Chain A
Amino acid sequence: RKEVEQDPGPFNVPEGATVAFNCTYSNSASQSFFWYRQDCRKEPKLLMSVYSSGNEDGRFTAQLNRASQYISLLIRDSKLSDSATYLCVVNGDTGRRALTFGSGTRLQVQP
Chain B
Amino acid sequence: NAGVTQTPKFRILKIGQSMTLQCTQDMNHNYMYWYRQDPGMGLKLIYYSVGAGITDKGEVPNGYNVSRSTTEDFPLRLELAAPSQTSVYFCASRGPANEQFFGPGTRLTVL
Q: A96-B56, A97-B31 are in contact. Are A102 and B90 (CB under 8 A)?
A: no
A57: min CB distance to chain B, Å: 14
Q: Within 8 Å CB of A41, what residues of B?
A: 88, 107
The CA of A72 and the CA of B32, in the complex, are separated in Å by 27
CB nearest neighbor in A for B101: A46
Which of A34, A46, A87, A103 touches B40 (beta carbons < 8 Å)? Answer: A103
Contact assessment for A98 and B41 in the assembled complex, using a CB-CB cutoff below 8 Å: no
B2: min CB distance to chain A, Å: 14
The CA of A43 and the CA of B97, in the complex, are separated in Å by 19
Interface of A, secondary structure class, is loop
Determine which residue in B31, B42, B105 has the highest number of CB atoms from chain A within 10 A of its CB, and name it. Answer: B42
B34: min CB distance to chain A, Å: 11
Asked whether B94 is an interface residue with its Cβ less than 8 Å from the other chain, the reply is yes
Contact assessment for B105 and A98 in the assembled complex, using a CB-CB cutoff below 8 Å: no
The CA of A15 and the CA of B105, in the complex, are separated in Å by 30
Show 21 residue pairs from A and B whose CB-CB distance is below 8 angstroms, ordered by the A residue: A31-B98, A32-B97, A41-B88, A41-B107, A42-B105, A43-B102, A44-B90, A45-B102, A46-B99, A46-B101, A49-B99, A87-B42, A91-B98, A96-B45, A96-B48, A96-B58, A97-B98, A98-B45, A101-B35, A101-B42, A103-B41
Determine which residue in B98, B103, B104 has the highest number of CB atoms from chain A within 10 A of its CB, and name it. Answer: B98
Give per-residue flags for A1-38: 1 if the beta carbon is below 8 A from chain B beta carbons, else 0: 00010001000000000000000000000011010000
Q: Within 8 Å CB of A74, what residues of B?
A: none
Q: Within 8 Å CB of B104, what residues of A?
A: 42-43
The CA of A4 and the CA of B42, in the complex, are separated in Å by 10
Asked whether B18 is an interface residue with its Cβ less than 8 Å from the other chain, the reply is no
Q: Within 8 Å CB of B102, what residues of A?
A: 43-45
Determine which residue in A44, A49, A91, A102 has the highest number of CB atoms from chain B within 10 A of its CB, and name it. Answer: A44
Determine which residue in A8, A32, A42, A96 has the highest number of CB atoms from chain B within 10 A of its CB, and name it. Answer: A96
Q: Within 8 Å CB of B100, what residues of A?
A: 46, 99
A75: min CB distance to chain B, Å: 20
